[in-house]
C-alpha cells in the first residue's frame, strides 16, 4: 500500500468520527435542556441560558426569548419557579439530527409533564426544530422553534424538517 493511501484513509476516518462526535454533542445538548429548566435556581437557569448562542432565539407559540440572558431570566421567573415547585418534567424525544459542517439541526417531539393531584398530567406535546452552530466553546442553539401539536400547519411545518 502507498503511504499516501493510508493517510487518506486516516483523514477520511477523522472526518467521519468528527461527524459522529458532533451528532452525540447535539443529542447531549438537546437532552440537557429539560434538566436545566426543571431544576432552576441560579445554576439551572445559567445552564439553560448557556445552551444558547449569544444571538440565539427560543421561539414558541407562547413566547419569544432572545439571547442567553433572557432564557436565564425566564427560568428564574415566578411562573417557572412555581412550575418547578409543582413538579415539572420537560422531556425531549429522540431527535432526527443532521450535521452539515458547522451547522446542525435537530427535529423532535417534546412533552412537558406536571404533577397534578396524585399523578402527572401532560401539559404540552410539541414539535421542535433546534438549529445549532459550532462555536469555539462547542455547539450552541441559534434558534429553537417550538409549537404545540394542535392540528394546525405550524407544528407540521416544523416536523417536516425531519425528512426534507
Q: Interface residues with its own copies (CB under 8 A)?
A: 1, 3, 6-7, 9-10, 13-14, 16-17, 20-21, 23-24, 27-28, 30-32, 34-36, 38-40, 43-44, 47, 84-89, 91-97, 107-109, 111, 113, 115, 119-125, 127, 148-152, 155-157, 159-164
SS3 63: coil
CB 160, min distance to its own copies, A: 5
Minimum Å gap between C-beta 123 and its own copies is 7
Report which DSSP code applies to 59: E
Residue 9 or 64: which CB sits closer to its own copies? Answer: 9
Pick 101 or 119: Cβ nearer its own copies: 119
Nearest Cα to 55, choosing from 36, 70, 44, 42? 70
Q: How far apart are CA 145 and CA 61, in angstroms?
A: 9
Strands 119-135 and 96-100: what pairing? unpaired
What does residue 148 show for φ and ψ, rounded to 5 degrees?
-55, 140
Least separation, in Å, of the C-beta of 57 and its own copies? Answer: 21
Residue at grid coordinates 394542535: 150
Amino acid at each position: 500500500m502507498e503511504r499516501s493511501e493510508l493517510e487518506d484513509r486516516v483523514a477520511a476516518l477523522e472526518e467521519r468520527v468528527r461527524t459522529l462526535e458532533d451528532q452525540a454533542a447535539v443529542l447531549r445538548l438537546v437532552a440537557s435542556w429539560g434538566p436545566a429548566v426543571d431544576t432552576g435556581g441560579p445554576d439551572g437557569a445559567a445552564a439553560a441560558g448557556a445552551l444558547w448562542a449569544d444571538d440565539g432565539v427560543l421561539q414558541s407559540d407562547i413566547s419569544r426569548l432572545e439571547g442567553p440572558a433572557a432564557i436565564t431570566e425566564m427560568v428564574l421567573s415566578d411562573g417557572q419557579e412555581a412550575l418547578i415547585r409543582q413538579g415539572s418534567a420537560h422531556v425531549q424525544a429522540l431527535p432526527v439530527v443532521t450535521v452539515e459542517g458547522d451547522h446542525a439541526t435537530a427535529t423532535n417531539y417534546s412533552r412537558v409533564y406536571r404533577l397534578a393531584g396524585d399523578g402527572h398530567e401532560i401539559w404540552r406535546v410539541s414539535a421542535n426544530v433546534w438549529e445549532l452552530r459550532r462555536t469555539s466553546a462547542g455547539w450552541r442553539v441559534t434558534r429553537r422553534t417550538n409549537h404545540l401539536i394542535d392540528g394546525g400547519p405550524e407544528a407540521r411545518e416544523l416536523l417536516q424538517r425531519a425528512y426534507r
